[in-house]
Homo-oligomer: A and B are copies of this chain.
Amino acid sequence: MRIGILGAKGYTAGELLRLLASHPQAEVTCLMARVDAPEPVAAYFPALRGLYDPAIEPIDLERLIEQCDAAFLALPHTAAQEYAARLIEAGLKVVDLSADFRFESVDLYEKTYKVEHKARELNSRIPYGLPELFRDELKQAPAIANPGCHTITAILALAPLMRQGELVDLDRIVISSLTGVSGAGRKPSDITHFPECNESVNAYGVATHRHRPEIEEQLSRLAGRKLRLVFTPHLIPMSRGILSTCTAPLRAPWTTAEAMALYREFYAGEPFIRMLPDGEAPRTGAVMLSNFCDISVVVDEHARSVIAMAATDNLVKGASGQAIQNMNLLFGLDETLGLIPAPRRPVAAPAAG
């Protein structure tokens, strides 16, 4: 695969480059971004110094088409709409890391992002890229919309419950999601200024965050009916990682062991889902820099509720690692290429440790 990256200056591009450096079947041939003149990769990603030859160059779609078999769009939302159609038409496989094609309902996208969608007809041809749940429809697609970081983490935590509507009250889900600061992107701001966010925690986007409609749309699809839920993201003084703690009331007695068994079966064989031993809560530190999603579920018998927790690295399973997993799928390759170093056994199996 000759790979091009559009929007090569941001954190998700840096993660794509870090991961693709050890991908056995990918070669990065084009790096393009809104720059005035070519700039070396190390100017933006000093950790990658010496690992990449190509410079980051001004965007030139035709040259990208000529030199690449596939493209990652690591652009802000609205920008991907501009380029996706031409790239797909030229036969490139495309994974879009922005929100532009994440919604089945274009109206919902427009309402959520407060912009007009300029590639409406294309939207229905680009499926939502969550292979653990929708693998089959991804393999034949021309392009994939890569999920949001809070979104994928919360969905993976909750998905096994979506068919358990008799057991779980799906109308009373509460998600508390904790993210590291890299989730805010590369652009400095008051909020991400070290002395402001260090040694402090706060919720943000309370009742208004744009990942909520995305979570609701996908979970509704799994549940077979419209769900509404509470989603409260929090900013945590760490660079990377997302932990989603999801709570729902129970409608009938259930135990932690039963819940864990359901989850283990649901995710059996999934290379990137690691079900933890009973009673162990996921830590974001354990998934840092990896494409794993660590999951655990606890039944709170006292309060008759189920608490599902998932941890990811927001820049890997929550962005660039997932994008590579999706790209592997588009090319019919093993999904784990470039993402798991020589796994010795399937990791979602009901392991004791």
Contacts and interface: CB of A to CB of B under 8 A. Distances in A.
A4 interface: no
A14 to B, nearest CB: 10
A246 to B, nearest CB: 10
Interface stretch (A58-66, A83-91, A124-132, A195-203): A195-203
Copies of this chain present in the complex amount to 4
B303 A239 contact: no
Question: Chain A interface secondary structure, helix, strand, loop or mixed?
Answer: loop
Contact of A53 (B178, B189, B274, B344): B344
Contact of A49 (B197, B236, B274): B274
Contact of A47 (B286, B303, B347): B286
A327 to B, nearest CB: 17
Contacts of A300: 206-207, 230
A200 B298 CA distance: 20
A239 B194 contact: yes
Contacts of A341: 21-22, 51
B198 A238 contact: yes
A245 B239 contact: no
Contacts of A190: 188
A345 B50 contact: yes
Contact of A181 (B42, B46, B195): B195
A176 interface: yes
B243 A203 contact: yes
A181 to B, nearest CB: 4
A352 B307 contact: no
Contacts of A343: 50-51
A232 B47 contact: no
Contact of A307 (B207, B245, B288): B207
A21 B194 contact: no
Interface string A85-118: 0000000000000000000000000000000000
17 contacts: A49-B286, A51-B344, A53-B344, A178-B201, A178-B234, A192-B194, A192-B195, A193-B194, A194-B198, A197-B285, A200-B286, A201-B236, A203-B245, A204-B281, A228-B304, A229-B303, A237-B238
Interface of A: 11, 21-22, 39-43, 46-47, 49-53, 172, 174, 176, 178, 180-182, 186, 188-190, 192-204, 206-207, 212, 228-230, 232, 234, 236-241, 243, 245, 247, 249, 274, 276, 281-290, 292, 294, 298-305, 307, 309, 311, 340-347, 351-353
